[in-house]
Amino acid sequence: MANSAQARKRARQAVKQNAHNSSLRSEYRTAVKNVRKAVDAGDKAAAQAAFAKAQSVIDSIADKKIVHKNKAARHKSRLSASVKAMVA
């Protein structure tokens, strides 16, 4: 347990920051999942719309260093390839 006032404050801040980062990470996963569901359903227009939204979410999460930029780029690349591979 934190013994100094500074350590107690840092522990409080860590809890708050962890909750914030967790919600953003959840938003990221949901955006990726929505694209995958649209691709699996075979709806190319919906998949393209979901991918456009997911791109901005993925970029913002990577900018905040909640996920690594290379992981974000990998997800965007694979999602883009799956959307492009769909038949019209």
Using the 8-state DSSP alphabet, how is residue 33 labeled?
H
Question: Does the pTM of the predicted model rise above 0.75?
Answer: yes
Instruction: List, for residues 32-85, the tens digit of each pLDDT value.
Output: 999 999 999 999 999 999 999 999 999 999 999 999 999 999 999 999 999 999
For 17-28, what is the mean pLDDT? 97
CATH number, position 36: 1.20.58.110
Domain count, the chain: 1
Range of the domain at 17: 5-84
* Cβ-based neighbour number of residue 5 at 10 Å: 8
The half-sphere exposure of 29 on its side-chain side, counting CA atoms within 13 A, is: 7
